[in-house]
Amino acid sequence: MIILGIETSCDETGVAIYDTERHLLAHKLHSQIKLHAEFGGVVPELASRDHVRKLLPLVKEVLLEAEITLQDLDAIAYTAGPGLVGALMVGAAFAKSMGLVLKIPAIPVHHMEAHLLAPFLEPSPPQFPFLALLVSGGHTELIEASSFGEYKILGETLDDAVGEAFDKVAKILGLPYPGGPVLAKLAEKGNKNRFIFPRAMLKRGLNFSFSGLKTCALQHFKEFGNAEQTKADIAFAFQEAAVDSLVIKCRRAIKEHNFTQLVVAGGVSANTRLREQLNIMGKEAGVVVYYPRLEFCTDNGAMIAYAGARHFMAGKKTDMEIKVYPRWEM
Ligand code: KG4
Ligand code: ZN
Which pLDDT does position 316 carry in this prediction? 83
DSSP classification of residue 208: B
Within the chain, strands assigned E span: 2-7, 12-19, 23-31, 75-81, 106-110, 130-135, 140-147, 150-156, 261-265, 288-290
Distance 299 CA to ligand 1 centre (A): 9
The verdict on the CB of residue 136 being under 6 Å from ligand 1 is: yes
Find the largest Cα–Cα distance for the chain. 62
Q: How far apart are the first and last CA of the chain?
A: 25
- Which pLDDT score is estimated for 319? 78
Instruction: Return the axis-axis angle of helices 179-187 and 272-285, rounded to nearest 10°.
Output: 70
32 and 111 assigned to the same domain? yes
- The verdict on 243 and 152 lying in the same domain is yes
Residue type, 94: F
Cβ of 83 closer than 6 Å to ligand 1, yes or no, is no
Q: Is 270 in the pocket of ligand 1 (CB under 6 A)?
A: yes
Per-residue pLDDT tens over the stretch 19-66:
999 999 999 999 999 999 999 999 999 999 999 999 999 999 999 999
- Is 307 within the bounds of a domain? yes
Same domain, 105 and 199: no
Same domain, 9 and 69: yes
Q: Is position 103 within any domain?
A: yes
Q: Are residues 132 and 232 in the same domain?
A: yes
CB of residue 184 inside a 6 A radius of ligand 1: yes
Q: Rounded distance, CA 194 to CA 231, Å?
A: 11
CA–CA separation, 3 and 1 (whole Å) = 7
**For residues 117 and 222, what is the distance between their CA atoms, to the nearest angstrom?**
41
Same domain, yes or no, for 148 and 268?
yes
Mean pLDDT of the chain: 97
Contact 155, 138 (CB under 8 A): no
CATH number for the domain harbouring residue 104: 3.30.420.40
pLDDT of the residue at 172:
97
Task: Output the DSSP codes for 89-116.
Answer: HHHHHHHHHHHHHHT--EEEEEHHHHHH
Task: Determine the distance separating the centroid of ligand 1 and the alpha carbon of 177, expressed in angstroms.
Answer: 11
Whether 324 is covered by a domain: the verdict is no
**CB of 236 closer than 6 A to ligand 1?**
no
Distance CA 54, CA 226 (A): 39
Asked if pLDDT for residue 320 goes beyond 90, the answer is no
CA atoms of 136 and 162, how far apart (whole Å): 7
Residue 175 C-alpha from the chain's centroid: 21
Q: What is the pLDDT at residue 321?
A: 83
pTM: 0.97
Domain boundaries, position 18: 2-117+296-313
Co-location of 98 and 161 in the same domain: no
Q: Is residue 96 part of a domain?
A: yes
Q: Let me know if residue 221 belongs to a domain.
A: yes
Q: How buried is residue 316: exposed, middle or buried, by Cβ count under 10 Å (0-12/13-18/19+)? A: middle
For residue 270, the ligand 1 atom closest to its alpha carbon is 26
Alpha-carbon distances, residue 237 vs 37, 54, 178, 199 (angstroms): 25, 39, 19, 11
The DSSP output letter for 64 is: H
Stretch 231-246: mean pLDDT: 98
At 302 the three-state DSSP class reads helix
The neighbouring-strand residues paired with 151 are 145
Query: How many other CB atoms sit within 10 Å of the CB of residue 19?
Result: 18
Whole-angstrom distance, CA of residue 102 vs CA of residue 4: 12
Do residues 201 and 112 both lie within one domain? no
Pick the closest to residue 178 from 35, 291, 295 (CA basis).
35
Evaluate: CB of 292 within 6 angstroms of ligand 1. no
Q: Which residues surround ligand 2, an ion (CB under 5 A)?
A: 136, 299
- Tell me: the pLDDT tens digits for 85-144? 999 999 999 999 999 999 999 999 999 999 999 999 999 999 999 999 999 999 999 999
Query: Same structural domain for residues 19 and 58?
Result: yes
Q: Give the number of domains in the chain.
A: 2
